[in-house]
Structure 1
Amino acid sequence: MTETIIRTVRPHATGSTGDSYDNIEPWFEKLSALAADDRHRREVRDTIIELCLPLAEHIARRFTGRGEAFDDLHQIARLGLVQAVDRFDITRGSSFLAFAVPTIMGEIRRHFRDRTWSVRVPRRAKEVQQLLGPATEVLSQRLGRIPNARELAAELDIELSEVTRALIARNAYKTDTLDAVGDPDDNTGLPVMDRLGAEEPCYRLLEDSMAVRPLLAALPEVDRQVLVWRFFENRTQSYIGERLGVSQMQVSRLLVRILSGLRERAVGEPALRRAA
């Protein structure tokens, strides 16, 4: 989701040039050159915040439909933007956008986290989940990109499986009944169920890929190729068997072994193996 926002966000503030916030760094250079007691420092800081306000609105809209009013999310996103502006270090060489997006998203997620959890989540998963936001901010600044699950685990000095559980736990936020009437501002007056569009699983693909990417990278080359053929190229087991010189039944068992191993390493629990 974070990388999607970075790719799609468009500035609307006066003075923006181009289709990204890459031109915002010169403002931070100007800000860092001013002394703390310089009367112009606040003016430059306020200008940066004003230029980036559309970013906060864009991210806030990404979190609508989860039981919280847009105005509340918008205010929280603006707070996250201010924090990002005050924490950003231009000397590290990374872009402000790569730092600001996870910072703002982390503030919104912290708002959801501090409210009620709609599904029972283990205490340890909640504790780790609270650490992910700050760790993501630090690594984003250091790496100049969004960190993956393995890098987060190394930064926090915890097991990869704990990071994976915490990422999954993020889905257990406050829920609303599908019979609830929508926001009066949308002029529909219809229950949520009647306003639902097509399912968009791609919104959580980034978090899923963060958890799975290092596990796939650790697989033997043949196992990775089998997964590519089966799930990315939609090849049949018979086709894969022909390429490997084995039977379709052997391919089926191979897939069970690979997927079971991935599950065990992802969640730290033995997968249920099907009988051959």
Structure 2
Amino acid sequence: MTVPTSGGPLPTPTTDRGGLPEIRRPTAMAPQDARELSRQFFDRLRELEEGTHAYQYARNTLIEMNMSMVRYVARRYRSRGGDMDDIVQVGIIGLIKAIDRFDVSREVEFSTYAVPYILGEMKRFFRDTGWAVHVPRRLQELRIELAKAKEQLRAALDRNPTVAELATHLGLPEEEVLEGLLAANGYAADSLDTPDEPDALGARRPLAEIVGGDDPALETIEDLHTLAPLLRQLAPRERRIIELRFGQEMTQSQIGAELDISQMHVSRLLNRTLSTLRTGMLSDPAPAP
């Protein structure tokens, strides 16, 4: 016997499939019919032996009949972006957990019991995958609290709240509020190909041409790579003087005492060594053999 997808009286159970009716299109069933049949399927599911064909049929049909509940809950996250199919799939995991743990004897509507499971899986999905930059869980939760506090204070003050007002409202130090606001910037990221605001002439350039600049540390790295072989060519005493002067930041007097030579001698050796290194740094590298 086939169950109608909407309206009409519920069918009389048959003897096949563990005594449950045949449902050809459970995902197209009206929510009211799904609620009525879910009670019947749950009553029978607890009597069937797990792993049997009848048990799998009852469990799978319950999942498909209640898919509309998952889609209904998923619609509230439509504005947050992301693929709705992924959100629905995550919600189905919560639905399956609710079906496996639901106890008919509690006399609670299955929808009341299942929605928190579905919501929990969706929130966990956004918490773990929704951030463009990974931040600690504490800051993720603080971002949600700050968003709620901003909305409440904006409605009360008719303007955006200050950091001090947010801190007072939440009972937190201002430093922690600032940390939460900074971490919230990592929730979403824009592509470097995103056009910037138009300039006076109406031209729009991608962010890659505007954001950032030359990093002076890159030039330092190149200098260090050039300097390393020149240091290896120095005599041991000259290399030791360079290490003591620039590595340990010792004075010339301290270096003289360390090497048992005069400060004047240290000065002459240091100047000669630096001149040698400077000449090597400015000359063209020798061609590779």
| TM-score bracket for the superposition, by shorter chain length | 0.3 to 0.5
TM-score by length of 1: 0.39
TM-score by length of 2: 0.38
Higher RCO (CA < 8 A, seq sep 6+): 1
